[in-house]
Structure 1
Amino acid sequence: MRIVRHHEFGVPSVLHVEEADKPVPGPGQVLIRTEAVGVNFAECQRRQGIPVGGPATLPGSPGGDVAGIVEQLGEGVDGVSVGDRVVTGVAADGYAEYVVTHADWLFAVPEGIDAGQATSLPIPGQTAYHVVVTAAKLQPGESVLITAAAGGIGHLLVQMAKALGAGQIIAAARGEEKLAFAASLGADVTVDYSVAGWEEKVRAATDGKGVNVALETVGGDVLTKCVNLTAQFGRTVVYGAAGGELPAIEVGDIFDNRIVMGFSMWGVMGNRPDVMAEGARELLDMVSSGRVRPVVHAELPLKDAAAAHELMEARSQLGRVVLVP
């Protein structure tokens, strides 16, 4: 089978397609014939040698969100059958024609969702759900600021906030195209955080009070401003740093009854199976009912994995970037 690997850290061109043996499922595992693989920004960082969300090792083989057909069951697997259409997140060896994963990590793909859209469910979808529900505890009527609002997770957060009854959704992104995209998904206010003074537009939109919740994944100066844009008793949830920098938060920035929380999806997966199960049910309900609709920006062949990473690093996508074997 074909699989994408890299034998050095560096720019996207270090990614190459290689031939490998088809994996064999062990006890409790299933073999999936891949239909689509969702590309996550963390894999771009690990390709550079940055250990984000998991170790950066060599040789490297990016993980991702894999949608496909169950082809073989390992010993002791029940509750899933050969031929089932499923999607799952894998930590490595994900850019491949076949993947092996634990049977209890599978999502059944809802009716009306194609393979590319389905790749938004495991990591981006669950991250979005737990950021806004488990961590931020967004309540109906509250205002929420979402950075990187047009990205693979951000565009889901905008829709989830709307589905959860947010009183005001402020989407922050770079460029008019991304702002228009966020508005089409339900954002009430859009601001370009690449333009100086963007934070004043947020203050004006909230009558100077600030937002109840800020959901932040850019890092750097954007994170610092988000913390200072929260109202009294407001919550900032930091779930990434796409810009590569996590600044120190001054005590004075949070002394006015503000909360700053760091969120790791891997921490929830490894320690809170009950929360994961509940989140999976709620997420599937949101998608099946049409309240949340994953958007695929581009589908590229597996051999163009480097181009997919270039697209992610250019920050030009609206929604999801997908590889198709």
Structure 2
Amino acid sequence: MRAVTYRETGPSSVLQVVERDVGDPGPGEVRVRLVRAGVNPTDWKFRSGGMPGGMSYDEVTPGQDGAGVVDAVGEGVTGVRVGDRVWLVLAQHGRPHGTAAELTVQPASRVAGLPDGASFDLGACLGVPAVTAHRALTSAEGGPARLGPGALQGRVVLVAGGAGAVGNAAIQLARWAGATVVTTVSSEEKADLARAAGAHHVVNYRETDAAKEILTIAPDGVDIAVEVAPAQNIGLDLEVVRVHGLVSIYANNGGDELTMPLRAAFGKNLRFQFLILYTLADDLVRAATEDVSAAVESGALRAGEDAGLPLHHYPLGDLAAAHDAVEGGAVGKVLLDIADA
């Protein structure tokens, strides 16, 4: 099979297209013939050496997300069969080989059914973005451990950076769960994408007093802030998140150091959640994959320009260019085309 690998960290030029054997699945494992793979920011950060663990193996096939068809199952696997359409989560976490390949062998726990009618493009857009968004939305005080229709009814969710992949998933999942969704953006182009994703209110923080506008929409404050840039936005979060509210922080855009006035957070009894999927407990990943699949099946999670998530396709052999596009801030989702759908 063809795969893209690297043997040392560094610029995207360390990625090489190679031919590799693919093994049979062992007990509890599934082999998937991939059609699409998703590219995430952590892929290039691991590859470049910007995150620990990027070179934990002699050779790495990057890629956490993907979608395809099961072509073999190991002993003891239940729930998926040969021929099933599936999507993958955390495919390269704790393993040398992920989804930048024609086939991948994965633990069955990292393989979820792709509902009928959902495209492989959509399946490859789930994984890291949707599971991250799910976790960000499911830890509010008195809120649900799971998502579903009505789970966030009556709540207001603020999504910072609604035009990003995680922001897009958070908007769609929060709306599916019944929340009123407010999002902040930096341009009219991104505002259009956030509206397409389903945001009820879009605030361009470069053109207006964002805190004033958000508090006009939600006078008592928002229940959850899904935060991508805490170093820049902490002042806004402290101002607009309600008493006993939650700030879910999943990225460090705009700065690696977070400083905040503690009494302002004390005064509102705020809770802060810092999250990354690579250390998330298995039961939480499992709950998220089940809920995300349910959202896909209901039609609540979509991908593409009309869903506020433009898709940028690259062939498998151009993974270096795909990594560069994500590192350069491509708006939407970068995908690898591995096989015909």
TM bin, normalised by shorter chain, reads: 0.7 to 0.9
Instruction: Give the structure 2 partner of residue 305 of structure 1.
Output: 319
Partners of 2:253 and 2:46 lie apart in 1 by: 12
Partner SS for 2:256: coil
Is 1:9–2:9 an aligned residue pair? yes
5+ unaligned residues in a row in structure 2: which ranges? 145-151, 305-309
Partners of 1:43 and 1:202 lie apart in 2 by: 36
**Alpha-carbon displacement from aligned partner over 1:10-60 (angstroms, at most 9, x marks no partner):** 3333322222222332221111111010111111211221227xx221644
Native 8 Å contact 1:107 1:122 kept in 2: no
Q: CA RMSD in A?
A: 2.5
Is 1:234–2:245 an aligned residue pair? yes
CA distance 1:228–1:6, shift in 2 (3 Å): farther
- The one-letter code matched in structure 1 to 2:313 is E
Instruction: Give the structure 2 partner of residue 109 of structure 1.
Output: 114
Partner SS for 2:331: coil
- How much has 1:237 moved relative to structure 2? 0.7
Partners of 2:204 and 2:8 lie apart in 1 by: 36
Partners of 1:214 and 1:80 lie apart in 2 by: 36
Partners of 2:220 and 2:317 lie apart in 1 by: 50
Instruction: Give the structure 2 partner of residue 251 of structure 1.
Output: 262
Which structure 2 residues correspond to residues 65-144 of structure 1 after superposition, within 5 A?
A: 65-89=65-89, 90-91=91-92, 92-134=97-139, 137=143, 139-144=152-157
Which structure 2 residues correspond to residues 96-245 of structure 1 after superposition, within 5 A?
A: 96-134=101-139, 137=143, 139-167=152-180, 169-193=181-205, 195=206, 199-203=210-214, 205-206=216-217, 209-243=220-254, 245=256
Native 8 Å contact 2:162 2:168 kept in 1: yes
Partner SS for 1:287: helix
Native 8 Å contact 1:199 1:229 kept in 2: no
CA distance 1:94–1:244, shift in 2 (3 Å): farther
CA distance 1:196–1:87, shift in 2 (3 Å): same
- How much has 1:200 moved relative to structure 2? 3.7
CA distance 1:95–1:237, shift in 2 (3 Å): same
Partners of 1:7 and 1:293 lie apart in 2 by: 35
**Alpha-carbon displacement from aligned partner over 1:216-261 (angstroms, at most 9, x marks no partner):** 1234213453244322222111122244524134412312222222
CA distance 1:57–1:224, shift in 2 (3 Å): farther
Partner SS for 1:62: coil
Partners of 1:207 and 1:105 lie apart in 2 by: 38
Partner SS for 2:64: strand
- How much has 1:207 moved relative to structure 2? 6.3
Instruction: Give the structure 2 partner of residue 314 of structure 1.
Output: 328
Native 8 Å contact 1:144 1:212 kept in 2: yes
Partners of 2:209 and 2:40 lie apart in 1 by: 27
Partners of 1:249 and 1:94 lie apart in 2 by: 39
Is 1:41–2:33 an aligned residue pair? no
Partner SS for 1:317: coil
- From 257, 271, 291, the equivalent of 1:282 is 291
Q: Identity of paired residues, percent?
A: 29
Partners of 1:281 and 1:84 lie apart in 2 by: 16
Partners of 1:286 and 1:152 lie apart in 2 by: 16
- How much has 1:102 moved relative to structure 2? 0.7
Is 1:265–2:277 an aligned residue pair? yes
Instruction: Give the structure 1 partner of residue 307 of structure 2.
Output: none
State which drifts further: 64-73 or 127-136: 127-136
Native 8 Å contact 1:203 1:209 kept in 2: no
Aligned length: 317
Partner SS for 2:25: coil
Instruction: Give the structure 1 partner of residue 336 of structure 2.
Output: 323
CA distance 1:14–1:223, shift in 2 (3 Å): farther
Q: TM-score under structure 2 normalisation?
A: 0.83
Native 8 Å contact 1:170 1:202 kept in 2: no
Instruction: Give the structure 2 partner of residue 31 of structure 1.
Output: 31
Instruction: Give the structure 2 partner of residue 56 of structure 1.
Output: 54
Native 8 Å contact 1:224 1:247 kept in 2: no
Which aligned runs of 4 or more in structure 1 are off by greater than 6 angstroms? none
Partners of 2:188 and 2:204 lie apart in 1 by: 8
State which drifts further: 275-284 or 40-49: 275-284
Partners of 1:76 and 1:166 lie apart in 2 by: 40
- How much has 1:101 moved relative to structure 2? 0.1
